[in-house]
Amino acid sequence: MIAWEYILSFLTLSAAILSAATFGQAQERISAAAMAISALLSALLSSGTFVGPEKNIFLIDIALFSVLFKIALDSTKLWPLLACGFHLNAVLVHAASFFPIPFEPGAYADSLVVWSHLACLALAIGAWWERPVCCR
């Protein structure tokens, strides 16, 4: 049986990709592609235990943050700033996991999922909300 978390992740990522493909311009499509690639790489390279720092996912999230940060700097729209900020929180959760403080693996994994969902929703809603006037 597929866990509900995977279904929710698939739905939010699919909504972001569909919204970017339908309403978006280059920035939205690049962001959606970067999010899809990072989700695929994270699924392939994750240990799945989250009992310690997930170094592979951390590097993937830093790369995605770099893409979102570059888009946020170049954009006049609001959604890239929101997506970048949400994803920065995921990067900070990873960074906090490197400290020698005990943490609950489920809380570590769930916090990463929450921030990635919010970044995907920022893209999905932003692509639709800030679509060009000719498409309205």
Asked if residue 5 has pLDDT above 80, the reply is: no
Per-residue model confidence (pLDDT) at position 85? 97
| Rounded alpha-carbon distances, angstroms, from residue 11 to 15, 70, 86, 97 | 6, 26, 18, 27
Asked if residue 109 has pLDDT above 90, the reply is: no
* Least confidently predicted of 3-12, 111-120, 121-130: 3-12
Confidence of residue 8 (pLDDT cuts 50, 70, 90): confident
Written as six digits, the tokens of 127 are 């692509």
- Select the more confidently predicted residue: 88 or 3: 88
Domain ranges of the chain: 4-135
Across residues 48-68, what is the average pLDDT? 92
**pLDDT per residue as tens digits for the range 91-107:** 999 999 999 888 888 88
Per-residue model confidence (pLDDT) at position 131? 79
Q: Residue 126 in contact with residue 83, Cβ under 8 Å?
A: yes
